[in-house]
Amino acid sequence: MNITPQVITRFAPSPTGHLHLGHAYSAKLAYDFARKHSGRFLLRIEDIDQDRCKPEYEQAIYEDLEWVGLTWEMPVRRQSDHMSDYKQALDILDQKGLLFPCFCTRKDIRREIEESGRAAHSSEGPLYPGTCRALTETQRQSQLDSGKPYALRLHMAKALELMGHQTLTWTDLEAGEQTATPETLLGDAVLARKDIPTSYHLSVVVDDHQQNISHVIRGKDLFQATHLHRLLQFLLGYKTPVYLHHDLLTDENGWRYAKRDNSKTLKSMRENGEELSF
* Residue extents of the structural domains in the chain: 8-272
Does pLDDT of 262 surpass 70? no
Sorted by sequence, the CB contacts under 8 Å of residue 158 that are 6+ apart come out as: 96, 97, 98
Q: What does the pLDDT average to over 90-113?
A: 89
* Cα separation, 171 vs 244, whole angstroms: 8
Name the packing angle between helices 83-95 and 223-236 (round to 10°). Answer: 70
Q: What does the pLDDT average to over 45-67?
A: 95
Sorted by sequence, the CB contacts under 8 Å of residue 249 that are 6+ apart come out as: 21, 22, 25, 256, 257
| Residue 165 pLDDT | 87
Indicate the average pLDDT of the chain: 90
User: Would you place residue 126 in the very low, low, confident or very high pLDDT band (cuts 50, 70, 90)?
Assistant: low
Q: What does the pLDDT average to over 4-11?
A: 92
1: helix, coil or strand? coil
* Cα separation, 129 vs 217, whole angstroms: 31
Q: Which of 71-75, 197-201, 203-207, 273-277 has the lowest mean pLDDT?
A: 273-277
User: Would you place residue 1 in the very low, low, confident or very high pLDDT band (cuts 50, 70, 90)?
Assistant: very low
Q: What percent of the chain has pLDDT over 70?
A: 90
> What sign results for the dihedral spanned by CA atoms 107, 133, 240, 122?
positive
* Cα separation, 239 vs 205, whole angstroms: 10
Q: What does the pLDDT average to over 38-65?
A: 96
User: Would you place residue 120 in the very low, low, confident or very high pLDDT band (cuts 50, 70, 90)?
Assistant: low
Does pLDDT of 276 surpass 90? no
Report whether the peptide linkage leading into residue 55 is cis, meaning its omega lies within 30 degrees of zero: no
Q: Which of 38-52, 140-154, 231-245 has the lowest mean pLDDT?
A: 140-154
* Cα separation, 176 vs 76, whole angstroms: 31
User: Would you place residue 186 in the very low, low, confident or very high pLDDT band (cuts 50, 70, 90)?
Assistant: confident
Strands 121-122 and 125-126: antiparallel
Query: What are the residue ranges of helices labelled H in the chain?
Result: 21-36, 55-68, 83-95, 106-116, 137-145, 156-163, 182-185, 200-210, 223-236, 266-271
Q: What does the pLDDT average to over 113-124?
A: 59
Sorted by sequence, the CB contacts under 8 Å of residue 55 that are 6+ apart come out as: 15
Q: Which of 51-60, 101-110, 141-150, 192-201 has the lowest mean pLDDT?
A: 101-110
Does pLDDT of 100 surpass 60? yes
Q: Are 258 and 22 spatial neighbours (Cβ–Cβ below 8 Å)? A: yes
The CATH architecture that domain 8-272 belongs to is 3-Layer(aba) Sandwich (3.40)
Number of residues written out for the chain? 278
